[in-house]
Amino acid sequence: MSLLRRPELLIGGALVALMAICAVAAPLLAPFDPIKPVVLFDGADIVRAPYPPGTAGMLLGSDSLRRDLLSRLIYGTRYTLLFCGVAAMLRVALAAGLGMLAGWYAGASRLLDVLAGAWSAVPSLFFALIPLALISRLGNNQLNALAFVVVFSLTGWPETAVRVRVAVRELRAAPFVESAYAIGLGRAAVLWRHIRPNLRDLLLVEAAYAVAAVLLLCAELGFLGIFIGGAEREAVGGQISNDPIFAEWGGMLAKGVRERGASAVLFIAPMAAFSLSILAFNLLAEGLRRRQ
């Protein structure tokens, strides 16, 4: 009954669970290999790509490299949620650490005000755009993936840190804190053993919001042609372009924006995946917040 009274928690949790199933069971759910092209022939001639939806059992058709779009979306759930999830957890961990210190020590609180004010003055997209654009030109796939995780984790943390600081300040007056002091625990021990566990519910909410925010940033960068993972060079319309190798939604969106004239599905499919996933994590976060 409690879940029925919180439809946002029910819907958000169900959508997140569905995406988790797609990520884990991608090899079983994907009808084709997401990397290998499916070459079709019309007599002696090769059928021109991208294939339209419904061609040769491809529900959404293919991209310009003849790779099944639905299979790449399903596998993209695995890679996109993995990278964005890790980045979001690192972001929350950073914010929680700074917020706890700021809520417990007056000097750290003043330092957080300075850092948060300076960090918040730079838009997340602008902060991420410059280093990722430079690193993506190096052609190092491992460095590219690591840079995305690091840069994503360094954006958006001030708001979470401030909320953690407020929660810690409220907990300082709780009776269990006085009891901990009475048995001889020091300030650092009280913070770690007693304050930190009481932040669990808040941090779960912040983690869900952080995943949604990182996914949004990933989609925004995809619009600008910057994405996670490796790329290969392909001649399209007489021009050389970098096409994503790995099935990842940001790369699919970047390719779809560039080639939307050839097939609108190339753009709509990854955009719908991003929109649905962002909605799912925002609903989950809101449901968890209202349950507190």
Dihedral Cα 39, 40, 42, 47, nearest 10 deg = -60
Dihedral Cα 57, 235, 215, 124, nearest 10 deg = -170
Q: Give mean pLDDT in consecutive 10-residue pieces for the chain, a chain of 292 residues.
A: 72 95 94 90 83 91 91 94 94 95 89 89 84 69 80 92 94 88 87 91 96 95 81 51 74 88 90 96 93 72
Q: 0.85 exceeded by the pTM?
A: yes
pLDDT at 41 (0 to 100): 84
Pick the CATH number of 7-31+66-291 from 3.40.50.2000, 3.40.190.10, 3.40.50.300, 1.10.3720.10: 1.10.3720.10
3-class secondary structure, 275: helix
| Structural contact between residues 275 and 268, judged by C-beta atoms closer than 8 angstroms | no
Tokens of 16: 């997140």
pLDDT at 238 (0 to 100): 46
pLDDT at 140 (0 to 100): 59
Q: Where are the domains of the chain?
A: 7-31+66-291
pLDDT at 59 (0 to 100): 93
Phi, psi of 240, rounded to the nearest 5 degrees: -90, 130
Exposure on the CB side of residue 101, measured as CA atoms within 13 A: 11
pLDDT at 143 (0 to 100): 74
pLDDT at 27 (0 to 100): 93
| Structural contact between residues 252 and 260, judged by C-beta atoms closer than 8 angstroms | no
Beta-bridge partner residues of 45:
42
